[in-house]
Structure formats: C-alpha cells, structure tokens
Homo-oligomer: A and B are copies of this chain.
Amino acid sequence: MNLKQLAHMLALSQTTVSRALNGYPEVNEETRRRVMDAAKRHGYRPNPSARRLATGKTGMIGYVLPTGASVDIDPHFVEFLSGLGDYARSHELDLVLSPADADDQETTYRRIVANRQVDAVYISSPRPADRRVALVNTLGIPFIVHGRSEGFDFDYPFTDIDNEGAFHEASRLLIQLGHRRLALINGDDRETFAIHRERGVRRALAASALALDERHVCSVVMTEENGYRATRRLLEAGDAPTAIVCSSLIMALGVVRAVRDLGLTIPGDISLIAHDDVFPWLRPENFSVPLSTTRSSIRLAGARVAERLAARISGLEEGARGEVWPVDLVVRGSVAGAPA
C-alpha cells in the first residue's frame, strides 16, 4: 500500500494525502480525518527510503564506532546505549553504528554526512581539541558531544558531568580524614574526562598546600588487571599513598585485589574512592568493603543525549549550550582516617 494507491482509493491527489498525513494546514480538517482514517485502516506507512530521498531526513542518529583488532569498545558504551535506546524508541529514532578504522574516523564522518545517512550524530570519549568535534562542527550536521573537548575557538553543544568537581570532592574528603599522600589511578589521560579528574585531585591537594606526587598518578586503560598493577606499583614503592582515587569500578576490583594480596586492608591501611557509572551488574555497595564512590548514571546521560539530539533534529534546540551535571559523592565503608 503506497501513497498513490491510497490517494486513488480516496479520490484525492497524492499531494493532499501527503499533506493531510504530515499535518500541513492547507487541508480541510474533515478531509484530513478521512485520510488519516483510511491510512490507519489500511496500515499505510510511508516508505522511508522514498521519504528520505525526497526530504533528506532519515529518522536515524549516527555514531561512528571505532573498531580494529586491538580496539576494545568501552563497556560503558552498553549502559550509555541503554539510555539512548530507551529515549530513541519513544521517538521512533533508530541508531546507526558506522564502524570505522580507529585511526581514520574522519573518512567515515564525511561519508555519513555527505550521504545524509543520519540526521544527527553524537561523539563520545572526546579529547582536548578533538578532531571529530571540529569536523562535525564544520560539516554542519547536528551533534552533541558526550563529555567535553577543549581548546577550540568555537563553542559546541555537549552534555558532561562535573568530573573535576567530583574528584575534587572525593579528594577533599580524604584530605579532611588526614590523608596526605593521595594517589590517582586514572583512565586514558588523552581524554578530557581524565584530565578533569586529575585537575580536581590536584586542586583539592593544593588547597591544603599539598601536591600530587608524580609517581602517584597513573593513566591506564580501565581494566581490572591495570587497576591491580597500578596499585601494586604504588604500594610497593617508597612513600606509598594512604588513599587512592580511582576512575572506574572495574579498576577498583583490581585495586581491592592488590591491597589484599599485599596483606593490607581497606580502609585500615588504604582508603579508596572510585567513580561509579552505575552498572546494573557491578555495584559498589557489594564490594567486600562497600566502596565509596562518585556516582553518575551514564545511562541517564545516554537518554539525555538522545533527547537533545532529537530536539536539535526537530529544530527545538539550537546554539552551543553545554551542560554539566553534578556528581554525587557517596560515602561508604572504604574510607577512614589516615593510619597513624
């Protein structure tokens, strides 16, 4: 059942039927009702390929997925996707993942824009002066950055959490508890979120005339194993820290294991605070010692990004407004006063 048939059946022109269905004003309300009625009764659904060719609108949002044998997709992605998908569903949007060589995403961005394959895109895990952001900005496709970039001479729309504030608060708590030697086990420090977190820690220390020992900050891919290794290294060297701030719950698993392996305890010897993106399958309160966290649901962020993308597609949102969400500091058993 296509438009032509429907129009013929109603003894109307395709124009009128099309307009009736799409809510244009120049059609009699009575006629519109008849049309919509018939459309529903016959289960008419406009062919998206045709609509797409005619309008350029696709009803899809895009994401360029970096791939490659040695490229691991961040497990956070799936949670983000949950939120995104949940919102997208309610707005009849589909998500298209365009796999790209991790080292050449530009080609793919250009392709999906040139081919008008999607109405909008989002960018995640941005770095300072991220080329992807600059690119989509000049290409002129609606977009939202999940996270933040830095160092551009233009503004852009983003949704981010207050990473600096979160890690500042976490560090401040530890300092108040008497800790003087903090360590930071961070994610990839080429990404902005990690830079902000480190900044937060340093600022808190500086406020108490303390500093972050360069040997006490490390930047690694966020796996359990790397959390373990980093902790071993930190604790086995001289001037070991008494408190650790950690960028992910998965790494925190490794931290806990390392501390135990060394015959130390949390929080007796080591206080620990980690960032929690809120996974359903791994919860900080269920650590052997309930874990203090800076908490922010990445799923909600996904939903919010979808919402903003939809708004931009339909023209309801414009401009380069960035938004920064506050982060909760949730104190549980893994922190205590510094050992004497």
Interface residues of A (CB under 8 A from B): 45, 47-50, 52-53, 56, 58, 60, 65, 67-69, 71-75, 77-79, 81-82, 85-86, 88-89, 93-101, 111, 114-117, 222-225, 228, 250, 253-254, 257, 260-261, 279-283, 286, 288
Please name all residues of chain B whose beta carbon is closer than 8 Å to the beta carbon of A117 when the two chains form the complex. Answer: 48, 94
Closest to A91 in B: B99
CB < 8 Å: which of B78, B97, B111 contacts A75? B78
Please name all residues of chain B whose beta carbon is closer than 8 Å to the beta carbon of A82 when the two chains form the complex. Answer: 67, 71-73
Q: Knowing that A73-B85, A86-B99, A260-B288 touch, tell me 7 more A-B residue pairs with CB under 8 angstroms.
A: A47-B53, A65-B81, A72-B280, A75-B78, A93-B99, A94-B117, A223-B282
Q: Are B250 and A281 in contact (CB under 8 A)?
A: yes
- CB A226 to nearest CB in B, in angstroms, measures 9
Docked CA distance A79–B74 (Å): 9
Q: Are A88 and B96 in contact (CB under 8 A)?
A: no
- CB A237 to nearest CB in B, in angstroms, measures 21
Docked CA distance A321–B93 (Å): 34
Q: Are B72 and A115 in contact (CB under 8 A)?
A: no
- CB A141 to nearest CB in B, in angstroms, measures 15
CB < 8 Å: which of B78, B98, B283 contacts A78? B78
- 21 A-B pairs in the complex with CB atoms less than 8 angstroms apart: A45-B115, A47-B53, A47-B115, A48-B117, A49-B49, A49-B116, A65-B85, A65-B95, A73-B81, A73-B85, A77-B78, A85-B97, A89-B101, A94-B96, A94-B98, A94-B117, A95-B98, A96-B96, A224-B282, A225-B286, A261-B288
Please name all residues of chain B whose beta carbon is closer than 8 Å to the beta carbon of A60 when the two chains form the complex. Answer: 96
- CB A52 to nearest CB in B, in angstroms, measures 5
Closest to A222 in B: B281
Please name all residues of chain B whose beta carbon is closer than 8 Å to the beta carbon of A89 when the two chains form the complex. Answer: 67, 99-101
- CB A224 to nearest CB in B, in angstroms, measures 5
Please name all residues of chain B whose beta carbon is closer than 8 Å to the beta carbon of A85 when the two chains form the complex. Answer: 65, 67, 73, 97, 99
Docked CA distance A327–B5 (Å): 55
Q: Are A79 and B86 in contact (CB under 8 A)?
A: no
Docked CA distance A79–B35 (Å): 47
Closest to A62 in B: B94
